[in-house]
Structure formats: structure tokens, C-alpha cells
Amino acid sequence: MRAADPGRTPAQSQHRHQRFGARRMISRRRFLSLSAASMATPAWATPTRWHGFALGAEVTLTIHADPDQAAAAISVAKSTLAEGEALFSLYNPQSDLTRLNRTTQLHQPDPLFLHMLDIADHVHGATDGCFDPTVQPLWQALAQGANLTAAQAALGWHRIRWSAEHITLEPGQALTLNGIAQGVLTDVLRDRWRAMGLDHCLINLGEFAALGGPFNLGVVDARFGQVAVETLQNAAIATSSPAALPLGRDHSHILGPNGQLPKWATVSVTAQDAGLADAASTAFCLMSQDEIRTACRAMPGVTSVLLVSETGALQRLTPSA
């Protein structure tokens, strides 16, 4: 994990039923975005599967390994998910993210938190600001029917400061990492499993990463149903569908920091890392095809982009082509 240079400028508890409702909505958005259609595996291989829940998404792990190794992998997964909840949950009042949003300061931040800010900063710059985690106050204002003026005034990724010693927000600011946290945590688990010697697994934390493969995944749009099948091997994929979770009458859960509205019904991004795919799929929903092509040149880890138009038509961009 890379910490930013000191002083670098980057280019509350709720009731239980409210938390549960919010988590269920996020889970439904992810299910509608991407679902496993089938897996191409040897006929003799009987995988171990584990189901859980983390960071607002349903978790499904598929492990092709002997029982002892699979049990060890699940143990590592559980500890990794607990680590992610403690760092990035918006619903846990004691998570690092919630404390940062409440106090505008986080001292001695975890290296994984700093790593996520670095990825967010990279995608923010590559997408000309379309990926901006400071939209959390706007999201809250829209969800609560509050006045948007103060929320709009709080936006601005360039106003955040971070270093190995601290992360600082300006007054009124708050972050949401829902467009990147699941992906980054997916990468952490993938790397830990690879270090254990696993070589044929599928991780689904809301975003997907494959060790080995191939795995066939059905891309699902909120309105059109399954629109494509993608084959994943030693790569990651993330999908965003703005219509899957409406926010009030006129907005989706994907918010443009400058008032941009979604241009696509669904965007699915395949990349080397799930964190990059997660953030890119979120931002690309707000961008034209030409803008996406330009952004991909600054993100060489992106290998394929599937775009579903508002009429259900498919377009595929292959950045390296």
C-alpha cells in the first residue's frame, strides 16, 4: 500500500432497522448489476462455497481446493471482511470512515485506507473528476429531502488532505467509499489467497475477482435483465446500474459532483484489479463514449468496457485495441 506524501493535495449511529434497510438496498443494487451465470470448471472439481455479507453487499466465495485449504481460505476471508467493515462501513459508528466523517480527522490511518485514497485519486484524475467520493453530503441531502445548497458547497475532492499521519476533511465534508471499497477489499482477499497457493477461485464481494478460471459471469441490467455473459480469468470485473437504486424522484445513487446525470443504463468494466474496475464503472456511468476512451488511456489496467444504453443496446470498448 502506498501512503501519500505528507500534506499532499489529492488531483451516526442509526437505528438497527434503518441500517438493515440501507444495506438491503445496496445488496439489491449489486445483485441486479452482476450475477454468476455459470462457471467453467473441470467435471471432477467440487468447489467449496461460502456465503456472507459485508459492506452492503452479499458475499459469495467459490474455492476449488482440498477441504483443509478451503477452510483456511474461508478463515482468511472472514478476517478480511471484518477488517473491511472496521475501516470502510458507513453503518458502523465506530468504523474509521464514520469517525472521519464525524470529526473530519483520522489520525494514523490504516495503510489500506491510504491505498484506497490513492486509487480514488487516480480515478478522479483520469475521469476528469467524475469519480468523487465527496458526494456523500449530496447523497444524504437527496435521501432526506434536505436543502442541497450546503451539500453542494461541501463537495470537492481537491480539498481533502492525507498523509501517513492523518487524513483531513474540510468542515461539512464527508466521504462515501461505496463506489470503490468493495473492489479494493476484493483485491486484498484475492492477493491473500494467491499467497496461500490458491489458483482456482471466484470472489464475489459485490465486485468479482478470479484466480484462475475461466468463470462465466452474467451481466445483469436493472431493467433489461441479463444482457451479456463475460468470461473472467485472472482478472476482475465490476458493474454499475444507475436505475437499480433510485434516490428520490429525479436521481439515481450514482451522483455527478457537477450535476452530471447517468448516460448509460449499465456499465461493466473488466480490469486487472477490482478496485480500479469498481471506481471506473461508477464514473463511466456519467461519461460519454469518447470521454471513457480518454479516461481508459490514463488507466491501463482497464481491459474492457461494456456499455448498455438506455434502450438496451450494447457497445463494447477495448482500450488496448
The torsion angles phi and psi of 142, rounded to 5 degrees, stand at -65, -40
For residues 159 and 51, what is the distance between their CA atoms, to the nearest angstrom?
39
Per-residue pLDDT at 251 exceeds 90: no
Per-residue pLDDT at 48 exceeds 80: yes
The torsion angles phi and psi of 135, rounded to 5 degrees, stand at -75, 0
| Number of structural domains the chain divides into | 1
Per-residue pLDDT at 9 exceeds 90: no
Please tell me the predicted confidence (pLDDT) of residue 57.
Answer: 81
For 202-231, the pLDDT digits (tens) are: 999 989 999 999 999 999 888 888 999 999
**Sheet holding 34-39: strands in order across?**
34-39, 215-221, 225-232
Helix (H, G, I), strand (E, B) or coil at 320: coil
Beta-bridge partner residues of 230: 217
Please tell me the predicted confidence (pLDDT) of residue 179.
Answer: 85
More confident residue, 272 or 244: 272
For 259-312, the pLDDT digits (tens) are: 678 899 999 999 999 999 999 999 999 999 999 999 999 999 999 999 999 999
CB 141 within 8 A of CB 148: yes
Please tell me the predicted confidence (pLDDT) of residue 26.
Answer: 39
Q: How far is CA 83 from the centre of its chain?
A: 16
Please tell me the predicted confidence (pLDDT) of residue 207.
Answer: 92
For 70-112, the pLDDT digits (tens) are: 999 999 999 999 999 999 998 899 999 999 999 999 999 999 9
For 315, other C-beta atoms within 10 Å of its C-beta total 12
For 112-163, the pLDDT digits (tens) are: 999 999 999 999 999 999 999 998 888 888 777 777 888 888 899 999 999 9
% of the chain residues with pLDDT over 90: 65
The torsion angles phi and psi of 313, rounded to 5 degrees, stand at -75, 145
Per-residue pLDDT at 31 exceeds 80: no
Q: Which domain holds residue 177?
A: 1-321
Q: Cell numbers 449489486 label which residue?
A: 30
Q: For residues 209-229, b (16+ Cβ closer than 10 Å) or e, as one string?
A: bbbbbebebebbbbebeebbe
CATH number of the domain encompassing residue 39:
3.10.520.10
Tell me the DSSP string of 23-62.
HHHHHHHHHHHEEEEEE---TT---EEEEEEETTEEEEEE
Per-residue pLDDT at 10 exceeds 60: no
